Structure 1
Amino acid sequence: MSSGHKAMTLFVTVILGLLLVILNLCADWPRWAWAASAALLAVIGVVTNRVLTPKREPFPRDLLPEPDLPLPDPARQEQRVTHVALPSSVADYDFSFSATVRWLVLDAPSDAPYINPAGLAIDAILQRARGVTAQQPPHRSAFVQHQLDGALATMRVDATGRVMSMALDVSLSLPEHDRERLAKLSDVRKDEDVWEHERNYERSKRAYLGEDVLKDTGSAVVWWLSRNEKEVEGAVDRIGLLARLSAAAKNETVAPPFEHLVPQPREVLTDDTPDDGPSTGRQQPYDVGEATVSDNGSGEVLSVDSLLEWFGFSAADADVNLFAERLITIASAHGKTEAVDEIRRHFEPDPPEQADAGAPGDSAPPPEGSAPPPDDDLTP
């Protein structure tokens, strides 16, 4: 008898014994009833044991001609494949694929040709992996590896129907030089995007200034006033400047209504300019020692004296000689030798008076006993 039958017999006997004890205590049976209950309990235990005990087979299973043995587990085989190049969605950037391929040979008809199950299984796994990697960019190798873990984790029948295959320990990577190249290309694309946005921003700003703000003088004045609402007088003072700015933005001249607010440029007289005719108020570049036409067109001749007067120096000014030296230094630095000579002649002392008789250029000697003439100060 097995241990399971013994346990069941003991369990039934104990339960029935407890019931008989409870009944005897509740009904207050006589002593002979206790003995009868014990005998009945023993009979019930024996009957229960016989009922639960299985019948023995006439012949043991291991002595039969075809014993009922357990079915053997199907034979599974596996092989490791490493560093297989699989394409990505970008040309010339291939993944490096490694995995353990496991397969199971399926039943086939007796006339079926012999096969290489390892080759069929590996080819089936590579085709399944290729379908996943060809749709993914190369810089996402870690993400694609997890996708392959799920896509190749199930046993599937190959195209020939002879084997079932799956992949374990999948590894997918990108070569180091390709990763560095992709990182550089990514940085360049980001820089190009930033530069393109900056260029579009500059174009938009130029279009806003040229086509809206500086479209005409009125638009420029309104734009300036919108940014300086409390400076109305300042806007009025800048109308001429804004008119010139608006005209320059369109490569045009200032509009006639605003010409009187724009200062007119001074025109330089050239050598071929005719001297006759009314004065037009044009000026020549200033040249020391030569006559120039003044701003008011009165024909006043400008000289060193007028230059000193214009600077506010008088003949008695103590700094006039120092100012003259600085003028000479400045004129010499710019190569104006004629101006240097003119300034020096102006500040040199007058030569002694010439004698009435004698050769030209010969001066008469001073009388004997007379004092030499005092040296004049360098006065203009």
Structure 2
Amino acid sequence: MIGSGRNTMTVFVTLLLGLLLVIAGVALQWPRWAWPVLAAVLVTAAVAVNRLVSRDRDGFPPHLAMEPDLPIPPAPRQEIRVSGVALPSAVADYDFLFSATVRWSLLESPDGAALINPSGLAVDAVLHRAREITAGQPPSRSALVQHRLAGALATMRPDSGERLLAMALDVSLCLPDPDLERLAKLSTVRKERDVWEHERNHERNKRDYLGDDVLKDTGSAVVWWLSRNEDRIEETVDRIGVLARLTAAANNDEVAPEFRHLVTPPLVPPQQDFDEQSPPGPETAQERHEEPPEAGPDHRMDDVFAWFGFGPHDPDLALFAEHLVQVAEAHGKTEAAAEIKYRFDGRMPENPAEAPPPKS
């Protein structure tokens, strides 16, 4: 078919050229000997055209003359699934479990390059990139780290040897259930410890405030009471003696000499034996008048509570007594603290040395 097309082109060019020469010869009235020359020229022209057409056709491969241009096929991509790979976290012994689909695409190999295992290189490249991210993340944030990994591994990047491009799809990251339970318990313990520390610091601050500030001396106690009862000045003056006794007890000391005249002298009970059948005589009564009986611990505590405005059935009396126990223990007044505990709890302290004296 290619030969017939070439011949057709040769005949067409020869006829066209001959027609032009005949018209030129008739118009110019060439002599008779010019016509044989004209025929020879036409034959030579036909041969030249045929060779020219044949050379142009032979320059293009015949097996591609009728075939269309095809697009270059893309480089093949391959993938492999990895599951349950342990990756380190920011806390020792708490590893993430990593799962993903690793996809890779081979790059052009240099001359003399060694043969490779594409799947192994691709998995190693992806795990290396994932390990750099998880090593600095807390194990309790596995869901957040999973989304971060999905974004970081979503692009094709070359491996260390630049033999292929690798990426990860369908990334999954989790923590084993036992580790999740341990982290939950540790979190609960930390929260409870923080609350306990705050409560203990609050209690310590209260003891320091009462012992080092309010009950540091009688003057501080009076100022503290007056700041809480600004409109009860006369009553504050009447309570100076009780405050002096309370300050002395909190500091394990005696009442200051300048306040002793404001303190009610204790009542001493009679310390004598007599016959039940014989009534006490005048001397006994006189001695009892000269040496009044000493008031017991309960009576002294009732005076202190009454001075602070607490009645025997006041609902806040037990709480106030508990604060007094804390103040006494903070200043080493174990005996006073034991008496107050025994007064309100009705039970002896665990340390026998702290037990209050028996009541007569």
Q: What does residue range 43-54 of structure 1 map to in structure 2 within 5 Å?
A: none
Structure 1 residue 67: deviation in Å? 7.0
Q: What does residue range 116-135 of structure 1 map to in structure 2 within 5 Å?
A: 116-135=117-136
Q: Where does residue 295 of structure 1 map in the other structure?
A: 288
Is the contact made by 1:243 and 1:255 (CA closer than 8 Å) also made in structure 2?
yes
Q: Distance in 1 between matches of 2:167 and 2:291?
A: 109
Structure 1 residue 63: deviation in Å? 2.2
Q: What does residue range 335-346 of structure 1 map to in structure 2 within 5 Å?
A: none
Structure 1 residue 212: deviation in Å? 1.4
Higher helix share: 2
Structure 1 range deviating more: 209-218 or 61-70 = 61-70
**CA pair 89-285 structure 1, distance change in 2 beyond 3 A:** farther
**CA pair 198-288 structure 1, distance change in 2 beyond 3 A:** farther
Structure 1 residue 263: deviation in Å? 2.8
Q: Where does residue 226 of structure 1 map in the other structure?
A: 227
Amino acid at match of 1:186: S
Instruction: Give the count of matched residue pairs.
Output: 229
Q: What does residue range 147-226 of structure 1 map to in structure 2 within 5 Å?
A: 147-226=148-227
Q: What does residue range 1-380 of structure 1 map to in structure 2 within 5 Å?
A: 63-64=64-65, 68-266=69-267, 283-284=270-271, 289=276, 294-297=287-290
Q: Distance in 2 between matches of 1:287 and 1:118?
A: 111
State the SS of the aligned residue for 2:290: coil
**CA pair 62-167 structure 1, distance change in 2 beyond 3 A:** farther
Structure 1 residue 295: deviation in Å? 2.9
Q: Deviations over 1:69-99 (max 9, x none)?
A: 3111111010110011111111111111100
Is the contact made by 1:61 and 1:68 (CA closer than 8 Å) also made in structure 2?
no
State the SS of the aligned residue for 1:130: helix
State the SS of the aligned residue for 2:231: coil
Structure 1 residue 60: deviation in Å? 9.6
Q: Distance in 2 between matches of 1:298 and 1:260?
A: 18
Q: Distance in 2 between matches of 1:161 and 1:245?
A: 85
Structure 1 range deviating more: 123-132 or 246-255 = 246-255
Q: Distance in 2 between matches of 1:298 and 1:227?
A: 38
**CA pair 298-180 structure 1, distance change in 2 beyond 3 A:** closer
State the SS of the aligned residue for 1:172: strand
Q: Point out the structure with max Rg over C-alpha.
A: 1
Structure 1 residue 237: deviation in Å? 1.8
Amino acid at match of 1:211: D
Amino acid at match of 2:255: V
Structure 1 residue 264: deviation in Å? 3.2
Is the contact made by 1:61 and 1:67 (CA closer than 8 Å) also made in structure 2?
no
State the SS of the aligned residue for 2:209: helix
State the SS of the aligned residue for 1:295: helix
State the SS of the aligned residue for 1:184: helix
**CA pair 109-86 structure 1, distance change in 2 beyond 3 A:** same
Structure 1 residue 64: deviation in Å? 4.2
Amino acid at match of 2:271: Q
Q: Distance in 2 between matches of 1:196 and 1:142?
A: 32
Amino acid at match of 1:194: V
Is the contact made by 2:102 and 2:126 (CA closer than 8 Å) also made in structure 1?
yes
Structure 1 residue 66: deviation in Å? 9.5
Superposed CA RMSD: 2.7
**CA pair 220-64 structure 1, distance change in 2 beyond 3 A:** same
Q: Distance in 2 between matches of 1:202 and 1:190?
A: 18
Amino acid at match of 1:119: G
Structure 1 residue 262: deviation in Å? 1.9
Amino acid at match of 2:122: A
In structure 1, the gaps of 5 or more residues are 1-56, 269-282, 300-380
Amino acid at match of 1:296: H
Structure 1 range deviating more: 65-74 or 234-243 = 65-74
Is the contact made by 2:268 and 2:291 (CA closer than 8 Å) also made in structure 1?
no
State the SS of the aligned residue for 2:242: helix
Q: Where does residue 29 of structure 2 map in the other structure?
A: none
Q: Deviations over 1:319-371 (max 9, x none)?
A: xxxxxxxxxxxxxxxxxxxxxxxxxxxxxxxxxxxxxxxxxxxxxxxxxxxxx
Q: Distance in 2 between matches of 1:201 and 1:113?
A: 72
Residue identity (%): 63
Amino acid at match of 2:196: W
Is the contact made by 2:221 and 2:247 (CA closer than 8 Å) also made in structure 1?
yes
